[in-house]
Amino acid sequence: MTRDLHLARKLLPAALAALSLFAALPAHAAEPVVLYTADGLENLYKDVLPALEKKEGVKVNIVTAGSGEVVNRATVEKDSPKADVLVTLPPFIQQAQQGGLLQSYASVNYKNVPAIAKEKDGAWATFVNNYFSFAINPDVTKTAPKTFADLLHPNYNGKIAYSNPATAGDGMAVIILTFALMGEDAAFNYLKSLEQSAKFHTKGTGYLDVLLSRNEIAFANGDLQMDLDDAANGGLSIKPLFLLSHKAGEAPTTFQLPYAIGLIKGGPNQTEGKKLIDYLMSPEVQAKVPDIYGIPGRTDVPLAGKNGEAVKQAIAGVKLIPVDWNHVMEKKAGWTERWKTEVIGNTGKQTDVVKPKS
């Protein structure tokens, strides 16, 4: 007994030292959160995510592509999800919901998002509000087109590009707006005529701003937030604009095209994914949304500051039309097929041009 006690006394310091060393070791780092996001918000993520990573000790891995492309990727991975959070544009956020990709999560920070701007069960909510737009390079195109008819002028032959409606939310927006202004058949007849001046189509919309700034094209689709941000913070020669319909005397027309956020069902790191959503929808992050020329998704956070005023000025005098996203979802597959067969047809045009080299 004495011998055992003596041995324990000898081993105790070593055991205590080992426990002390174990306690001093850093805790196992949390698994990274994977965010699949539509392009356009890169500067916002760069600004706000380091604070979350420092506070929570969680690395956020970002995969950026066109709206449809990130949803398509999540769909392929549905049985074994690789991402935790999805940010994309309509109608692709609705596609993700209907496809069973999203899990209901009523973030406490959704409460100040208007009912019309979120799904009732919390599957998604508006993260950054935005408007569909077109864009030119103001250093090259001194007289901007004013109407859709102007784009059919021979001066634009081979100088127009817009993103693929099957893979980009802004590309689908081209069909949505022309449909709203012209009706379905007339819209596809117009797009077929416009195709004579189209150089190619891109997989995502964000690539187009670089091509415009390089003077590789003269006119493209986009969205107001991305185009203003690329011009001010990206150093690109880009100017957003809104077009008149064919009818004289009407105001330039557009519609809201927000970035929506949702939790991916069965994602590998849902706990931290929820933290990421809570953080991105928090007042402190939403207050930074105007810095990138976006509109906060929360009504209790104002569109303020110099950049907020620039957004207000850009949209002044522009007619906003409502969009029935349920109707768009009903028509989306048919519209995509009509675009492939009637607009692209046997032209041989590229429809998935990818990001150009810097």
- Say if residue 246 is in the same domain as residue 151: yes
pLDDT tens per residue, range 15-63: 444 444 434 444 445 689 999 999 999 999 999 999 999 988 889 999 9
Within-domain flag for 233: yes
208 to each of 62, 129, 140, 148, 311, how far by Cα in Å?
Answer: 21, 21, 15, 19, 20
Measured distance CA(309)–CA(299) in Å, rounded? 17
pLDDT tens per residue, range 297-314: 999 999 999 999 999 999
Span 279-293, average pLDDT = 97
| Structural domain ending residue among the three candidates 265, 283, 309 | 309
pLDDT tens per residue, range 77-104: 999 999 999 999 999 999 999 999 999 9
Measured distance CA(235)–CA(205) in Å, rounded? 17
- Say if residue 245 is in the same domain as residue 264: no
Lowest-confidence range among 6-20, 39-53, 215-229, 259-273?
6-20
Domain count, the chain: 2
User: Is there a contact between 229 and 41 (Cβ–Cβ < 8 Å)?
Assistant: no
Task: Count the alpha carbons within 13 Å of 214 in the hemisphere toward its beta carbon.
Answer: 9
Beta bridge partners of 241: 134
- Say if residue 283 is in the same domain as residue 337: no
Measured distance CA(64)–CA(261) in Å, rounded? 14
Q: Which residues contact 156 (CB under 8 A, 6 or more apart)?
A: 145, 150, 197, 218, 219
Pairing, β 60-65 against β 33-38: parallel
- Say if residue 59 is in the same domain as residue 157: no
Amino acid at 165: P
Instruction: Supply the range of the domain harboring residue 228.
Output: 132-254+324-344
Within-domain flag for 27: no
Beta bridge partners of 260: 88, 126
Within-domain flag for 165: yes
Give residue 245's pLDDT band: very low, low, confident or very high (50, 70, 90).
Answer: confident
Within-domain flag for 317: no
- Say if residue 247 is in the same domain as residue 182: yes
Crossing angle (nearest 10°) for helices 270-280 and 42-56? 120
pLDDT tens per residue, range 44-56: 999 999 999 998 8
Within-domain flag for 19: no
Within-domain flag for 16: no
Span 345-358, average pLDDT = 88
pLDDT at 355: 82
- Say if residue 87 is in the same domain as residue 137: no
- Say if residue 282 is in the same domain as residue 146: no
